[in-house]
Amino acid sequence: MVQMVQARNKSSICQSGSQLPESGYSVWPATQEDICRIAQNAKRVYTGLDVIPQETMLGWYKANPNGFWVVKDKTGTYCGNLDLLALKPDVMQRFIDGEIIEREIQGDYIYCPSESDKIESIYIESLVVVNPGNMKTGNALALRKLLENFYAIVSSLCDPVNIKKIYAIAASDGGMRILSKLGFSMIGKHQRQDDHNTYFADAKIFWQRIKRLSNRAN
């Protein structure tokens, strides 16, 4: 789910034409310890069925750790995360159709690293930026760093050229605005247990938008 937050408040943090200072943020592969931190942070960010149990998240991580990344400030403090799930086609379709929700996704539903050549679509399970310092500027800088590294992050999962579709769910108004900027469109409504709408983007358009937003922020 794409969620842009400051503390417990939802906000849009990527403003068109914004001029940002040089970033002191960096993006790192998540460790198992980071996954535990992400799971704990999810309890602050999400509510209800959107809160993924730590055990479930660790199962995803063990299935394919290459999809889990964190963004940190210059002191090494966690400021956000990007979690990508390379779901197998039948599972992805069931998820899109609303037959299953995130917390029902099991580790064996995800392509493992040795199956990277089979990956043609990815699901943005979580994109969260929570900066305890300067909320507006800090969040924007952290998000920019994730956008700048998005292609490289996907490259750790598979060959980005093979990706045809990227899927996501917006968990906030700010999340919906970000998805719109990245070229996502809502899929026809389904009766989902989590009451969210599913979005998708054509990979070519997505990469173009990522590049444009990243360049605009510089």
Angle at 60 between CA 103 and CA 25, to 5 degrees: 105
Task: Note the pLDDT of residue 112.
Answer: 98
- The domains of the chain are located at 2-217
Task: Note the pLDDT of residue 4.
Answer: 45
Task: Note the pLDDT of residue 95.
Answer: 93
Per-residue pLDDT of the chain (218 residues; tens, 9 = 90+): 565 443 332 222 233 233 334 468 899 999 999 999 999 888 887 878 888 999 999 999 999 999 999 999 888 888 889 999 999 999 999 999 889 999 999 999 999 999 999 999 999 999 888 765 544 555 778 888 888 899 999 999 999 999 999 999 887 777 788 888 899 999 876 667 777 888 999 999 999 988 887 665 55
Task: Note the pLDDT of residue 10.
Answer: 28
* CATH class entry, domain 2-217: alpha beta
Task: Note the pLDDT of residue 33.
Answer: 95
Distance CA 87, CA 211 (A): 25
Task: Note the pLDDT of residue 185.
Answer: 93
Flag whether the pTM goes above 0.75: yes
Task: Kindly tell me the sign of the dihedral angle through the C-alpha atoms of 47, 48, 50, 53.
Answer: positive
- Left if phi > 0, otherwise alpha if psi is -120 to 50, otherwise beta: which for 183? left
Task: Note the pLDDT of residue 86.
Answer: 98
Residues whose CB is less than 8 angstroms from the CB of residue 68 and which lie 6 or more positions away in sequence, other chains included = 29, 30, 34, 35, 38, 60, 61, 81, 82, 83, 84
Task: Note the pLDDT of residue 7.
Answer: 31
Task: Note the pLDDT of residue 22.
Answer: 46
Task: Note the pLDDT of residue 130.
Answer: 77
Do 105 and 86 touch, CB atoms closer than 8 A?
A: no
Task: Note the pLDDT of residue 17.
Answer: 30
